[in-house]
Chain A
Amino acid sequence: MPTILTPPEIRRPRRPDRDRVGEGDNGSGRRPPTDKRTGGNGDGDNWGDSPQGRHGPRERLSRARIGLFFALGGDMMFFVALISVFFVAKSSGHFDAYSRYINDWLPTSIPSILWLNTAVLLVSSVTAEAARRSMFREQDLMDEWIGLGRPISRRAALWLSTTLLLGSLFLAGQWVAWDQLAAQHVFFDSNASSHFFYLLTVTHAVHLFLGIAALVAALVMLARCRQLAKRQVAVDATVWYWHVMGILWVFLFILLEFCQ
């Protein structure tokens, strides 16, 4: 059989006797515990009725996803911090010499090309998802397993390169937006809101840059790596990262477009 038929989120293995084993259990005489609260990882693998072993690819896949989850959790805290500063700065003012309260927040007019960029990024997310799905198509899995070339890699590589293209397009678009602002003499240090426009867009662009690096890496793996499971993990993780960055951008865009 091929290594992975379906990613775990589509078909969950049965999880027998959840709550049998607890603190009080000192394992005396009983059948070794097969408590499944330990989240898909090893326990019970050797005697339980879960289909694959600990080093099984499904395990590796979910490990990568968990790691990504925590990493992105931290990353989101980073943006939460920036955004909360955004709202504070927006609402804060100062007292002038005549002790009048001045709120000198003048919104930066967002270049309309950002709408286009956003659309591009959303499309790229779709193509990325297509790539991810294609990594798990049983049809092709079978073909490859039987030895009919590597249809999976071919199809996924296609979708991934499209994503790569669209992603680079997005970055180019952002560049154009910065150019347009610069043409209007709106720079990072122009005023409070321009700080944030550049801060948020640039930090996000950096993240997308990493995403693009990941895409390239995934493409290389698709071409080089023999182990199917490794390729699946690489594509899967990259694509989830890409999705999150897309969603994050939508939030940032709404923030910059409507909440200034």
Chain B
Amino acid sequence: MSAPSQNLGAPSSRGFIALKWARIGKVARAIVSTHHRNIGFGYLTISTIAVILGTLLSWAMRVHLSWPDWQLPLHGPILPEEYLALVTMHGTLMLFFVLTVAPQSGFGNLILPAQLGARRMAFPRLNAIAMWTTAGALVVLLVAFFVPQGAPISGWTAYPPLSASALAGPGEGLGQDLWLFSLALFCIGGTISAVNLLTTIVKLRCDGMTWPRVPLTVWGWLTAALLSVMAFSVLLAALLLLFCDRHLGSSFFLPRGDFINSVLLPHRGSGSPLLWLHLFWFFGHPEVYIAILPGMGLTSMVIGNFAHRRVFAYRLMIVTTLLIGFLGILVWGHHMFVAGMNPFAGTAFAAASMAIAIPATAKVLSWIATAWRSRPSLTTPMLFALGFVSLFIAGGLTGPILAQPILDEYLHNTFFVVAHFHLIMAMAGIFGLYCATYYWFPLLAHGRILSERLGKWHFWLTLILAYTTFLPMYLGGLAGEPRHYSRLTGLNAPAQALLGSTQMIQLHITGAGIALGLAQLLFFINLILTLRSPRRAGPNPWFATTMEWAPHTFDEPTEPSKDLPALATFRGPCHYSEDGASFLPQWEPPPQQPASEGE
């Protein structure tokens, strides 16, 4: 995803060498650069690597689930512990290094300053440090595959005592340590980048960019950054404590007289595994909203953009964004209804979780109301935004079901949950990413637009396959199939009778899941073809109203220089005339005769 330097015609051999050097120099400069665009691309590179690996892992998981004796090329059969390692790494890669990095840090760096009319970010150096810390975290995580006994098997939630003692199973030695270290690095990087984002939003908004005029995307980034600052610190503390338990002989999460693998852990204080659950989920739930809030904001703006309307109930959208962020801090217990928590606490967390469904619903209503009967121009970004809404509903509506303790008692840790979060987090999140990529591509690739035709194919294929992959998981879960089961064969008779029915479902999911992954090739093909083609779209091809589309926002020397014209904002986003024919962008100075429209 580096800025391309083709389309120079066929250079002479000497020229070619020169070009080569130029390119190398360019890469070198990009590496040491502290400019937010290079950093943003760095983040996107990280998450692209992560998403490709995560997808490959998920394929291995799927194939193993359907054909347990299948031989992984160059590896042989997948052992149960290896399956768990795959799941753990898949979850960690996808949730942390894709859905936390790309929307928040990646596009946050690429677009956020421009949307505020700022030419730089608050702390460029810190920003670069954060990016490289995150890259380091990814490397450390991947090393876990290659250490003796391999990657951790305790899932991305790493519940102790399983994660607290090397005795508990393969991968719980060095592998788990690397996982801890990687996430610790990730926490530090994430916090720094969030601080940079927050300061930029608070301090660097251009003239006239008052709070009510700030685009909803920025509100999403703002809320996510606030959550990051809170949640990652708590996770860091939890990781530190777990590390002490593993290596320094403490027992924050270890009960007295824990007897693992016929070894009695040395006598210590009386810790409790539940403590980890509380700390982890206090981080974990905000984390999943960090993953989705930027997507929500972008969806709102994109729908408003292509419906040529002001986002319906704009103020309410701001409020609900903040409200979701706030409530997101209070609902962590809904992951622990049957984990040994006091049932009264369960009720309280259930109430909070139900409460959070209300702002979410408000958002859905507002999205639909904005697009409704607006004869939207159905470009690829718009389609992905609407797809986001669809997936958010299909995955979100099961949230309130899971939030009822008595139902969660049946559904907890079944594939019903897996379906829930793949639809609302994985797929909706990925749709948010694609929406961002298709929408902002002209800004990122010097005015090129991704092919609409390929894009539409990509969209419909991905949407349909996403549903065919993950909807059946609901049924598998309702049939009682638990998560983290490396195979469904060789169970005792009643279990066979119970889970036998899910075999077919699993087979179907495997097929669809692989197809879903393959469908993504269309995107990368589109990417390459477009980057090669010299065709350029004009400025502001989508008739967008937000600041990042203002002329000369992006075609500037990568080193911020003072003499560029200062940007100014004159109105809130999405000012379209009632018939949607004409619009007033935020950067356009007021016309002489008042053309009063808007809310």
Residues 188-202 of A, flagged 1 when their CB comes within 8 A of B and 0 if not, give: 110110010001000
Q: Which residue of A lies closest to B599 (CB)?
A: A24
Interface 9-residue window, one of A68-76, A171-179, A222-230? A68-76
Contacts of B279 in A (CB 8 A): 81, 85
| 9 other A-B residue contacts (CB within 8 Å) besides A42-B204, A70-B229 | A24-B599, A62-B203, A70-B194, A73-B229, A73-B230, A78-B234, A78-B237, A192-B268, A195-B251
Q: Which of A22, A39, A43, A94 has the most CB of B within 10 A?
A: A43
User: A88 an interface residue at 8 Å Cβ cutoff?
Assistant: yes
User: B591 an interface residue at 8 Å Cβ cutoff?
Assistant: yes
Residues 56-67 of A, flagged 1 when their CB comes within 8 A of B and 0 if not, give: 000100110011
Task: Report the minimum CB–CB distance from A186 to chain B (whole Å).
Answer: 13
Q: Are A67 and B122 in contact (CB under 8 A)?
A: yes
Q: A45-B207, A63-B199, A70-B195 are in contact. Are A88 and B594 (CB under 8 A)?
A: no
> Can you spell out 15 A-B residue pairs with CB atoms less than 8 angstroms apart?
A21-B208, A22-B212, A28-B594, A28-B595, A32-B207, A32-B590, A46-B568, A66-B199, A71-B229, A73-B229, A74-B195, A77-B229, A82-B237, A89-B275, A94-B255
Task: Report the minimum CB–CB distance from B536 to chain A (whole Å).
Answer: 30
Contacts of A66 in B (CB 8 A): 122, 198-199, 202-203
User: B431 an interface residue at 8 Å Cβ cutoff?
Assistant: no
Measured CA separation A27–B591 after assembly (Å): 9
Could you tell me which residues of chain A, from 207 to 229, have a CB within 8 Å of some CB in chain B? none
Q: Are A74 and B241 in contact (CB under 8 A)?
A: no
Q: Which residue of A lies closest to B117 (CB)?
A: A42
User: B210 an interface residue at 8 Å Cβ cutoff?
Assistant: yes
Q: A33-B210, A35-B210, A74-B191 are in contact. Are A40 and B203 (CB under 8 A)?
A: yes
Q: Are A43 and B210 in contact (CB under 8 A)?
A: yes
Measured CA separation A47–B570 after assembly (Å): 13
User: B25 an interface residue at 8 Å Cβ cutoff?
Assistant: no
Residues 197-225 of B, flagged 1 when their CB comes within 8 A of A and 0 if not, give: 01100111111111111000000000000
Q: A32-B207, A43-B209, A85-B241 are in contact. Are A77 and B233 (CB under 8 A)?
A: yes
Q: Are A33 and B270 in contact (CB under 8 A)?
A: no
Measured CA separation A64–B184 after assembly (Å): 25
What are the nearest 10 A-B pairs in CB distance? Answer: A189-B249, A192-B269, A27-B570, A94-B270, A28-B594, A81-B237, A77-B233, A78-B233, A74-B229, A67-B199
Q: Are A32 and B570 in contact (CB under 8 A)?
A: yes
Q: Which of A32, A40, A74 has the most CB of B within 10 A?
A: A74
Q: Which residues of B contact A (CB under 8 A)?
A: 122-123, 126, 191-192, 194-196, 198-199, 202-213, 229-230, 232-234, 236-238, 240-241, 244, 248-252, 255-256, 268-272, 275, 279, 282, 314-315, 562, 566, 568, 570-572, 575, 584, 589-599
Contacts of A76 in B (CB 8 A): 233
Measured CA separation A85–B240 after assembly (Å): 12
- Give the A interface residue count (CB, 8 A): 59
Task: Report the minimum CB–CB distance from A177 to chain B (whole Å).
Answer: 18
Contacts of B208 in A (CB 8 A): 21, 27, 32-33, 35, 43-44
Q: A67-B199, A81-B238 are in contact. Are A26 and B598 (CB under 8 A)?
A: yes
With contacts defined as CB atoms under 8 Å apart, how many contacts are there between chain A and chain B in the complex?
A: 186
For A85, give its contact among B191, B194, B255, B275 (CB under 8 Å).
B275
Q: Are B269 and A25 in contact (CB under 8 A)?
A: no
User: A11 an interface residue at 8 Å Cβ cutoff?
Assistant: no
User: A104 an interface residue at 8 Å Cβ cutoff?
Assistant: yes
User: A92 an interface residue at 8 Å Cβ cutoff?
Assistant: yes
Contacts of B255 in A (CB 8 A): 94
Q: Which of A28, A33, A35, A47 has the most CB of B within 10 A?
A: A28
Q: Are A29 and B570 in contact (CB under 8 A)?
A: no
User: A55 an interface residue at 8 Å Cβ cutoff?
Assistant: yes
Contacts of B591 in A (CB 8 A): 28-29
Measured CA separation A25–B596 after assembly (Å): 9
Measured CA separation A42–B566 after assembly (Å): 10
Q: A42-B206, A43-B210 are in contact. Are A26 and B571 (CB under 8 A)?
A: yes
Task: Report the minimum CB–CB distance from A46 to chain B (whole Å).
Answer: 6
Contacts of A70 in B (CB 8 A): 194-195, 198-199, 229
Q: A26-B596, A42-B205 are in contact. Are A67 and B232 (CB under 8 A)?
A: no
Contacts of B199 in A (CB 8 A): 63, 66-67, 70
Task: Report the minimum CB–CB distance from B564 to chain A (whole Å).
Answer: 12
Contacts of B244 in A (CB 8 A): 188, 195, 199
Contacts of A89 in B (CB 8 A): 252, 269, 271, 275
Measured CA separation A203–B240 after assembly (Å): 10
User: A161 an interface residue at 8 Å Cβ cutoff?
Assistant: no
Contacts of A81 in B (CB 8 A): 233-234, 237-238, 279, 282
For A38, give its contact among B209, B269, B572, B589 (CB under 8 Å).
B209
Task: Report the minimum CB–CB distance from B88 to chain A (whole Å).
Answer: 23
For A23, give its contact among B123, B126, B194, B572 (CB under 8 Å).
B572
Q: Are B210 and A37 in contact (CB under 8 A)?
A: yes
Task: Report the minimum CB–CB distance from B247 to chain A (whole Å).
Answer: 10
Residues 1-31 of A, flagged 1 when their CB comes within 8 A of B and 0 if not, give: 0000000000000000000011111111110
Q: Are A188 and B249 in contact (CB under 8 A)?
A: yes
For A33, give its contact among B123, B236, B282, B570 (CB under 8 Å).
B570
Measured CA separation A33–B562 after assembly (Å): 23
Measured CA separation A46–B315 after assembly (Å): 28
Q: Are A92 and B195 in contact (CB under 8 A)?
A: no
User: A41 an interface residue at 8 Å Cβ cutoff?
Assistant: yes
Q: A26-B584, A42-B204 are in contact. Are A191 and B575 (CB under 8 A)?
A: no
Contacts of B592 in A (CB 8 A): 29
Measured CA separation A88–B250 after assembly (Å): 15
Measured CA separation A118–B595 after assembly (Å): 65
Measured CA separation A191–B267 after assembly (Å): 10
Contacts of B195 in A (CB 8 A): 67, 70-71, 74
Measured CA separation A85–B568 after assembly (Å): 48
Contacts of B206 in A (CB 8 A): 42-43
Task: Report the minimum CB–CB distance from A194 to chain B (whole Å).
Answer: 9
Q: Which of B208, B272, B279, B594 has the most CB of A within 10 A?
A: B208
Contacts of B198 in A (CB 8 A): 66-67, 70
Q: Are B203 and A63 in contact (CB under 8 A)?
A: yes
User: A93 an interface residue at 8 Å Cβ cutoff?
Assistant: yes
Q: Are A21 and B210 in contact (CB under 8 A)?
A: yes
Contacts of A39 in B (CB 8 A): 202-203
Measured CA separation A30–B595 after assembly (Å): 11
